[in-house]
């Protein structure tokens, strides 16, 4: 592994990755997006700031900086990309005009292929973030009642189908009714919409795709998720174990306890075989 270039979106995940890389003594250069990336990240490694859509400047900078391996982490809202295409440089506009469609998966896979064509090696960031992967079992809060667990199992199966269609990663259910499906608005607004529609007692379910490529768009949960759930009066969060990142676990668990929210990690392969998760 050579010098790593981190293309950083919003949220804490790029920051955690940068900390891990630096702590291991590996060379890192960060490419941050103005108005999106957390400014604190520039304290961790040399950082180049770019506007969203400055594709040619990004590629030229990475070559000048001697980057060999590339990682993309952090959120860049899908709707923000679609609304801003008219401001992109010629390289980025040409890239988007050649896409078969503009779903998140299509865009991200095409970006990785474009990086490979330019001689960069997109790598899986999870070895640097393995400590953040959600384990199977009870993550936070109290053991949920059986009815709520059944809602969660139901919701996870629906969420997996939605994720495969590349519509979103989150589904909110109540009494085995699908209340809300994540679209362009993102997870937090999906949760709030569900609260408006169905009131207290909704169950939030978040998954990865089948055969998730860990190089991009891996689901992430954090305190922001819990705050949205509190507003929506949702008390249970189900996530896919081993394929979901949880940032700042200790603070997350404390916040979940304060809000009365239970968080459960489920192994979907086991669930598909009819095996339930032991929470004791």
Chain segment 169-228, per-residue pLDDT in tens: 999 999 999 999 998 888 999 999 999 999 999 999 999 988 888 888 889 999 999 999
Write down the pLDDT at residue 280.
61
Per residue in 102-149, pLDDT tens? 777 788 888 888 899 999 999 999 999 999 999 999 999 999 988 899
Range(s) of the chain covered by CATH 3.40.140.80: 133-272
Nearest C-alpha neighbor of 203 from the set 266, 258, 246, 161? 266
Summarised one tens digit per residue, pLDDT across range 213-267 is 888 888 999 999 999 999 999 999 999 999 999 999 999 999 999 999 999 999 9
Q: Is 224 exposed, middle or buried (0-12, 13-18, 19+ CB in 10 A)?
A: middle
Q: What is the CATH number of domain 133-272?
A: 3.40.140.80
Q: Which CATH number fits domain 4-129: 3.40.190.10, 3.90.640.10, 3.40.50.20, 3.10.180.10?
A: 3.40.50.20
pLDDT at 274: 80
- The CATH 3.40.50.20 portion of the chain extends over 4-129
Distances (CA, A) of 20 to 27, 51, 244, 253, 263: 11, 26, 18, 22, 25
Total Cβ atoms within 10 A of residue 123:
16
pTM above 0.95, yes or no: no
């Amino acid at each position: 592994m050579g010098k790593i270039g981190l293309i950083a979106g919003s949220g804490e995940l790029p920051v955690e990755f940068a900390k891990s890389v630096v702590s291991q003594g590996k060379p890192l250069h960060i490419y941050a997006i103005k108005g999106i990336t957390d400014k604190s990240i520039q304290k961790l490694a040399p950082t180049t700031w770019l506007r969203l859509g400055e594709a040619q400047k990004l590629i030229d900078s990475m070559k000048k900086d001697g980057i060999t391996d590339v990682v993309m982490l952090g959120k860049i809202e899908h709707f923000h990309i679609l609304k801003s295409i008219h401001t992109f440089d010629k390289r980025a506009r040409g890239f988007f005009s050649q896409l078969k469609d503009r779903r998140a998966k299509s865009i991200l896979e095409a970006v990785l292929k474009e990086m490979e064509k330019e001689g960069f090696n997109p790598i899986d960031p999870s070895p640097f973030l393995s400590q953040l992967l959600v384990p199977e079992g009870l993550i936070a809060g109290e053991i949920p009642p059986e009815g709520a667990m059944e809602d969660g199992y139901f919701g996870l199966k629906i969420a997996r189908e939605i994720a495969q269609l590349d519509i979103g990663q989150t589904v909110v259910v109540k009494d085995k009714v699908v209340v809300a499906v994540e679209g362009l608005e993102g997870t937090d607004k999906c949760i709030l919409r569900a609260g408006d529609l169905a009131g207290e007692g909704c169950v939030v379910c978040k998954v990865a795709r089948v055969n998730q490529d860990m190089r991009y768009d891996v689901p992430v949960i954090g305190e922001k998720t819990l705050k949205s759930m509190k507003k929506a009066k949702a008390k249970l969060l189900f996530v896919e174990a081993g394929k979901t990142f949880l940032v700042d676990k200790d603070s997350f668990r404390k916040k979940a306890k304060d809000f009365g929210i239970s968080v459960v990690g489920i192994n979907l392969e086991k669930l598909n075989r009819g095996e339930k998760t032991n929470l004791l």
